[in-house]
């Protein structure tokens, strides 16, 4: 089950965190993985890990906020069976503290970036008779989170983009879904704690972990496992859906 043999998967933001976990798992399941990331060194390290384990992958530098960068990154890919729009950035602030520059920065990556990548693969997917698009959303699109004004706005857009893509291309055999994680323990979290709470990292990590009803953060591998299901043929009846993977955050608070 969940074999991706003979399939090519393009994964954005795959140089670390959730994207890396998805890339490694997809390669393990037989896919050739295009590892796209703004940081080419990190993408190359992921590819080295994949190839050392016997998998197939290629590292590509890509700034998804720029359409020309996406076009160049995908120019050497003959066929895209799976696109995982994972790359994104965060922001902390309210409507009162969020600047125009903050809004533009998040919109350019989290919304336009997703559009650039999706737009680049759709024609090929239509021509080949189908494909899978998986968007990384957030529980921020489903519930109010304190001081996540701009971030929540962009993830709300991702949710609606998912529904629109699924609706518009269902007849062409293209499935589109999104995953809505709660807090996930990634290098971003560790970096945020070190920068914001120096000397209090362990205390704040425990506090953030306890904010989920289940009592801990998710692991990147757990998000990757759900991504694998949704991108596999076993999920061939699933489209236009948003999947919370949240330790009970949405419904058990």
Catalytic residue list? 151
- For residue 78, count CB atoms less than 10 angstroms from its CB and return exposed for 0-12, middle for 13-18, buried for 19 or more: exposed
Strand 82-85 vs strand 8-12: parallel, antiparallel, or unpaired?
parallel
- C-alpha 71/C-alpha 179 separation (Å) is 25
What's the rounded Cα separation, in Å, for the pair 106 and 129?
Answer: 33
Q: Provide the 3-class DSSP secondary structure of residue 99.
A: coil
Cα distance between residue 184 and residue 17, in whole Å: 9
Both tokens of 197, joined, read 């709470």
What's the chain's length in residues? 253
Residue 6's alpha-carbon distances to 29, 37, 128, in angstroms, are 10, 23, 14
What is the distance, to the nearest Å, from the Cα of residue 170 to the centroid of all Cα atoms in its chain? 21
- Residue 219: strand, helix, or coil: coil
């Amino acid at each position: 089950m969940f074999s991706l043999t003979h399939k090519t998967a393009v994964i954005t933001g795959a140089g670390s965190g959730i994207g890396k976990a998805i890339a490694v798992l997809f390669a393990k399941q037989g896919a050739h993985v295009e590892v796209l990331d703004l940081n080419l060194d990190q993408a190359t390290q992921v590819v080295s890990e994949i190839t050392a384990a016997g998998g197939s992958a290629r590292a590509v530098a890509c700034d998804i906020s720029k359409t020309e960068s996406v076009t160049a990154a995908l120019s050497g890919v003959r066929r895209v069976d799976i696109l995982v729009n994972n790359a994104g950035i965060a922001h902390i602030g309210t409507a009162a503290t969020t600047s125009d520059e903050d809004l533009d920065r998040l919109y350019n990556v989290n919304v336009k970036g997703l559009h650039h990548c999706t737009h680049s693969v759709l024609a090929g997917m239509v021509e080949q008779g189908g494909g899978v698009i998986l968007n990384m959303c957030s529980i921020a699109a489903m519930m109010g989170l304190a001081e996540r004004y701009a971030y929540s706005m962009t993830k709300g857009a991702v949710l609606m983009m998912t529904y629109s893509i699924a609706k518009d291309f269902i007849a062409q055999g293209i499935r589109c879904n999104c995953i809505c994680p709660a807090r996930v323990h990634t290098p971003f979290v560790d970096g945020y704690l070190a920068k914001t709470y120096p000397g209090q990292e362990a205390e704040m990590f425990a506090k953030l972990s306890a904010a989920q009803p289940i009592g801990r953060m998710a692991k990147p591998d757990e998000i990757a496992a759900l991504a694998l299901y949704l991108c596999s043929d076993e999920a061939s009846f699933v489209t236009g859906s948003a999947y919370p993977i949240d330790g009970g955050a949405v419904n058990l608070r």
